[in-house]
């Protein structure tokens, strides 16, 4: 009788859960395992230490473009929230300041609102930091890692300014906000959309420039506007302040984001204040700058360059897949 009741209760669940299967097949699962092994072997050969930092943190990032997932450690909403890490960056920089030397981490990260063929709220990130590396050194190392994974033997670089001038005939460093908006509206149906200057730059990059670089293979885009430095150092090129950072695109798909890392704690505080001003203007919740990260920079972050790379997107490009669901065991709709 009990068995009959249990079977009756389970039957509807079996009928309704048609998406229990993984999105990837066995061949893709094997390719994923090989890629993870290949990535680890790359760093082992170079003497870079693998680290494993917490998924939970007491502070989220201030960057307005990134919203972390929050969890609560107690059953009441009055308990201080914890954040699932959107990147292991803050923990890894604390390790660097404590004397870890060159390090890398390979594992899951989380971002709220990320959903689509190339986005998922949980994804696998490879992040690493190299002491004493210039940005050019790091670009070369990223190329040496990604190229063999994709069967590519070469890559090229272009500045952010060069791409804007080539595709849009606009200088992103000097063009007025109104000119950027006009260029976007002339090419895209945007309705009543309102953005700040960096918002228009991001829109033009993603919707107008990225499609144009789809045929250029591995392309490192360098020298972003100083207003988009995030946690990168800034430098001066031809009298113009630019961020010492790059993004790697593979056939027009963004794959990695690298910085010559900011070491100045006062500049870190200033940028966090600017982030929160943008958050207020956009109606977003403000974020407190992680005081432990700030303390680590006051102690002394060694001169280094670091990069974060999307492993799932790398596997997509390796297998010629169109969706993250094809290269992840269980994407968000299957969880």
Is 13 within a domain? no
Is 36 within a domain? yes
Q: What is the pLDDT of residues 60-118, one digit of tens each?
A: 999 999 998 998 766 666 678 899 999 999 999 999 999 999 999 999 999 998 777 88
Is 239 within a domain? yes
Q: What is the pLDDT of residues 166-225, one digit of tens each?
A: 999 999 999 999 999 999 999 999 999 999 999 999 999 999 999 999 999 999 999 999
User: Which of these ranges, 44-58, 71-85, 315-329, has the smallest mean pLDDT?
Assistant: 71-85
The end-to-end CA distance of the chain, in Å, is: 33
The pLDDT mean for the chain works out to: 92
Is 193 within a domain? no
Is 248 within a domain? yes
Q: What is the count of structural domains for the chain?
A: 1
Is 294 within a domain? yes
CATH number of the domain at 148, please: 3.30.930.10
Check residue 1 and give its pLDDT: 38
Check residue 79 and give its pLDDT: 74
Is 191 within a domain? no
Return the closest-CA partner of residue 257 out of 138, 156, 177.
138
Cα four-point dihedral sign 200, 65, 133, 35: negative
Q: Tell me, yes or no, if the pTM score tops 0.85.
A: yes
- Determine the 3-state secondary structure of 161 from DSSP: helix
Q: State CA 21 to chain mean position distance.
A: 28
Is 124 within a domain? yes
Per the structure, the complete domain to which residue 303 belongs is given by 25-155+217-334
Q: What is the pLDDT of residues 3-50, one digit of tens each?
A: 443 343 344 445 456 789 999 999 999 999 999 999 999 999 999 999
Cβ-Cβ contacts under 8 Å for 62 (sequence gap 6 or more): 271, 272, 275, 276, 279, 286, 287, 289
Check residue 73 and give its pLDDT: 67
């Amino acid at each position: 009788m009990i068995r009959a009741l249990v079977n009756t209760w389970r039957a509807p669940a079996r009928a309704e859960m048609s998406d229990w299967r993984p999105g990837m097949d066995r061949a893709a699962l094997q390719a994923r395992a090989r890629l993870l092994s290949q990535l680890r072997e790359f760093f082992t050969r170079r003497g870079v230490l693998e680290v494993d930092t917490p998924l939970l943190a007491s502070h989220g990032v201030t960057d307005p473009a990134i919203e972390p997932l929050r969890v609560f450690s107690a059953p009441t909403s009055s308990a201080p929230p914890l954040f699932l890490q959107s990147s292991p960056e803050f923990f890894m920089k604390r390790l660097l300041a404590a004397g870890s030397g060159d390090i890398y981490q390979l594992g899951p990260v989380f971002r709220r609102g990320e959903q689509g063929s190339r986005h998922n709220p949980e994804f696998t990130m490879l992040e690493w930091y190299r002491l004493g590396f210039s940005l050019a050194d790091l670009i070369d190392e990223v190329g040496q890692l990604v190229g063999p994974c994709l069967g590519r033997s070469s890559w090229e670089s272009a500045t952010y300014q060069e791409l804007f001038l080539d595709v849009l005939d606009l200088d992103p460093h000097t063009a007025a906000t109104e000119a950027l908006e006009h260029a976007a509206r002339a090419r895209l149906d945007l309705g009543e959309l309102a953005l700040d200057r960096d918002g228009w730059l991001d829109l033009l990059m993603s919707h107008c420039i990225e499609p144009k670089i789809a045929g250029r293979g591995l392309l490192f885009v360098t020298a972003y506007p100083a207003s988009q430095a995030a946690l990168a150092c800034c430098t001066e090129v031809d009298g113009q302040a630019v961020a010492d950072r790059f993004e790697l695109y593979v056939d027009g798909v963004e794959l990695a984001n690298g910085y010559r890392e900011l070491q100045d704690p006062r500049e870190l505080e200033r940028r966090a204040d600017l982030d929160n001003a943008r958050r207020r203007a956009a109606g977003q919740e403000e974020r407190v700058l992680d005081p432990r990260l700030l303390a680590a920079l006051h102690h002394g972050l060694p001169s280094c360059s670091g990069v974060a790379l999307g492993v799932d997107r790398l596997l997509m490009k390796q297998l010629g897949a169109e969706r993250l669901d094809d290269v992840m065991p269980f994407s968000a709709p299957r969880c």
